[in-house]
Structures are given as structure tokens and as C-alpha cells.
Structure 1
Amino acid sequence: MTFKVLALLALVATALARPQTYGYGAPGPAFGPAKYDFNYAVKDDYSGNDFGHQEARDGYDTQGSYYVLLPDGRLQKVTYNVNGDSGFVAEVSYEGQAQYPTQPRPYTPAPTYG
């Protein structure tokens, strides 16, 4: 009799401890419209890296831009927006003139620490 009671208690404890999950097709929790704003930038004089990105979203309206310093010395800028189902609309521009050196840049090893 004791074994039956313990088995029944173990079964009840297992059923109560089971996590609530949403199966396929079941709706998950409802979230409000997306709203965020972020930006970052990297400028490393040692390696020559210069790039950044900023974006803001409010519901279905998203606007942003990013830039990168190309190996030929030009700065490529991309400005974009997305409004609802309009898709990703981008405008690309370049600053500066492409430069192609006649001599390759000499190799300089990265610094070593401790």
C-alpha cells in the first residue's frame, strides 16, 4: 500500500513540475510593436578599420545607415529605410577617390603582449 501511495505522489509531482510549453501552431505571448534605436562605430588607426552602423525602428518603420572604409581609400555609405511591406530601399554613395598604390604597404607585425 505504501508503494502505491508513493508512486501516486511521484506521478502527481511529475505532472505538476512539467513546464508549460507552446506546441506547434499555438500562439505565444503577445508583444507590442518593435521599438529600438542603436548605433556603433569602430575606428582603428593601427589596422585601418573604420566602420559604423545606426538604426532606429518604431513599429513597421525602420531607418538606418552604415558606412565602411574600403581598401581603395573611399568611404562607402548606405542609407536605407523599410516602411511596412515596401521592402528594403537603400541609397549607396561614395566619398573620396579610389587610390591604388604602386608599392604595397610594408608588413608590420601586430604587437605582442607579455
Structure 2
Amino acid sequence: MVAKIAFAVLALAAAVCAEPGAPLVVAPAYVKAVDYHARPHYSFNYGVNDPHTGDHKSQSETRDGDYVKGQYSLLEADGTTRTVDYTADPINGFNAHVTRSGHAVHAAPVKAYAYAAPAVVKTIAPIVHATPAVHAVPIAYKTASLAYAAPLAYRAPLAHHY
């Protein structure tokens, strides 16, 4: 794509700079040839060891053609390290061998306590009808040491008897 753009810019620049009646000459653009059928080959590895967050992991992988071989490991929440060795090829498919190392450490159980909700006392203020509009009437809720009011919205009655 870049080669096509460069070619178009060069052609435009040559056309602008050329004298009227002079032949148009453009230098050939460089085009990189890519072989899409080449045998794939790569190798990589990385690792993280962060004592602040407790993130410990690593991975490495190698590929040669259709054969892939790799390993990754990570620190589990229980303190063990899980290591996975894997291979993949067109004949055998994906195969993984998982191992764990280290001793699992579990947190001590938390003692459960019975919890009783505080008693709620409701006091309703008298409702005064005025006009058929929406009014706010406070309702007070009292708990052990807290008292707060919540508004109550209502409409006037639908029918009036005159």
C-alpha cells in the first residue's frame, strides 16, 4: 500500500515539474516481495515477577513449520505454581501436560456471627389534602440511634364528593 502511494506521489510530482511537451519519466518504486508460503519459524519468551501485586508468570514458545512447542507457568491463588508444557502439530493436535509444584496454603476460615437487624419503628405524619397535585409527606424511620425522614409522594383522590 505504501509503495502504491509513493508511486502516485512521485508520478504527480513529475507531472507538475515537467515542462509542457516534455516526456514524462518516473523512477520505479521499491516493492517488497512477501512469500506467503514460506515455512513459519519463530521463538519467544517473556516473564513477569511483580512482588507488589503478587503477579508471577512466564511463557516461552517455539514454532518450526507446523510444529509448536511451549511452556507457561503461573502462581496460583493458593500459593502453588502451575506449569503447562504443550505441543501442537497437524498429526497429534494440541497436547498439554499440567503439573503443580509447591504446597497449597489456604486462609483460615472466618468465624460466622449471627446478626440481628435493628428494630424499625415507623411513624406516619398526618396527611393533609389541599389541591389535586403531587405532595411530599415525610415519613420518619427510627432505628436504634438513627432517625431520618424519607419523603412519600402521593396524588390527591381521583374522585371528589361535593
TM-score range, shorter chain: 0.5 to 0.7
Establish whether residue 70 from structure 1 lines up as the match of residue 76 from structure 2.
yes
Larger Rg over CA atoms: 2
Residue 63 of structure 1, CA deviation? 0.3
Report the Cα offset of residue 30 of structure 1.
2.7
Number of aligned residue pairs = 77
Please, which of 48, 51, 62 is the counterpart of residue 57 of structure 2? 51
The 3-state SS of whatever aligns with 2:103 is coil
Please name the residue that 2:95 is paired with.
89
Calculate the TM-score normalised by the size of structure 2.
0.44
- In the alignment, the residues of structure 2 paired with residue 72 and residue 39 of structure 1 have an alpha-carbon distance, to the nearest angstrom, of 25
Distance in 1 (alpha carbons) for counterparts of 2:56 and 2:89: 29
Corresponding residue number in structure 2 for 1:37: 43
User: Helix, strand or coil for the counterpart of 1:88?
Assistant: strand
Structure-2 separation of matches of 1:32 and 1:77 = 32
For 2:87 and 2:36, how far apart are their aligned partners in 1? 26
**Cα distance in 2 for residues equivalent to 1:73 and 1:82:** 29
TM-score (norm 1): 0.62
CA RMSD of aligned residues (A): 1.9
Quote the Cα distance in structure 2 between the aligned partners of 1:93 and 1:58.
25
Deviations 1:31-51 (A, max 9, x none): 301100000000000110000
Greater relative CO (CA pairs within 8 A, separation 6+): 1
